[in-house]
Amino acid sequence: MSERTIVYRFKNGIYINLTNRCPNLCTFCIKTKWAMQFDGHNLDLAGQEPTAEEILADLEKELQTPAQEVVFCGYGEPTMRLDTVLQVGQTLKKHSRYPQFKIRLNTNGLGNLINKRNIVPELKTAIDKVYISLNAENETLWQKLMRPAPEYKNGYSSVKEFIQSCAQAGFEKVAASCVENTGADIQAVKELALSLGAEFNDREYLK
């Protein structure tokens, strides 16, 4: 197997493979279906999560070529490593010689529960855009699709609160999303996202 990938380029963005850990086991998650591979990259960290210093060193090289966004992503949930998100994001904002890109967080919205506090004010110091997986119009469906670990079973209301809190915090963009063809009512999820103050993105069901 090829060496683990920490930072990779996809479309107009540079993506950070921060962790493979996630409190959910979504029915549509591609990480196991695609054997931890993505677009030719091995995203299996094999328990060796990158340090902030490793990430920043890889970003420094990758940013020699312009990009529109630097994205905290996975295969996993970035807010499992909130301290690293904040350290890398704040460093990029303070010291970057490449100011043209925006910093985005892709998240399942459980960051407040994971970190046992409201993380939105801290995120505001490091992140420009927040994209949040909503994926269901009610808690029953959310539990069925996201298959959260037992301690996150009641996380749907926290996800909605997180979206609303981000929308009120003044990020450049906050978007809630729904994966297509899962049984969710896309229009109802869109209306819910808008009612929480977010924009809405629908996402293709990847197979």
Chain residues that interact with ligand SF4, rule: CB under 6 A: 22, 24-26, 29, 31, 74-77, 108, 133
**CB 49 to ligand SF4: min, Å:** 14
**CB 138 to ligand SF4: min, Å:** 18
Helix axes 156-169, 139-146, angle to 10 degrees: 100
Which residue number, 149 or 194, has a Cβ lying nearer to ligand SF4? 149
Which residue number, 57 or 186, has a Cβ lying nearer to ligand SF4? 186
Which residue number, 34 or 98, has a Cβ lying nearer to ligand SF4? 34
Instruction: Give 3-state DSSP helix, strand, coil % of the chain, rounded to 5.
Output: 35, 20, 45
Which residue number, 26 or 82, has a Cβ lying nearer to ligand SF4? 26
Alpha carbons 45 and 147: distance in angstroms, whole number: 22
**CB 97 to ligand SF4: min, Å:** 32
Alpha carbons 74 and 187: distance in angstroms, whole number: 27
Query: What is the DSSP-derived secondary structure letter of residue 21?
Result: -
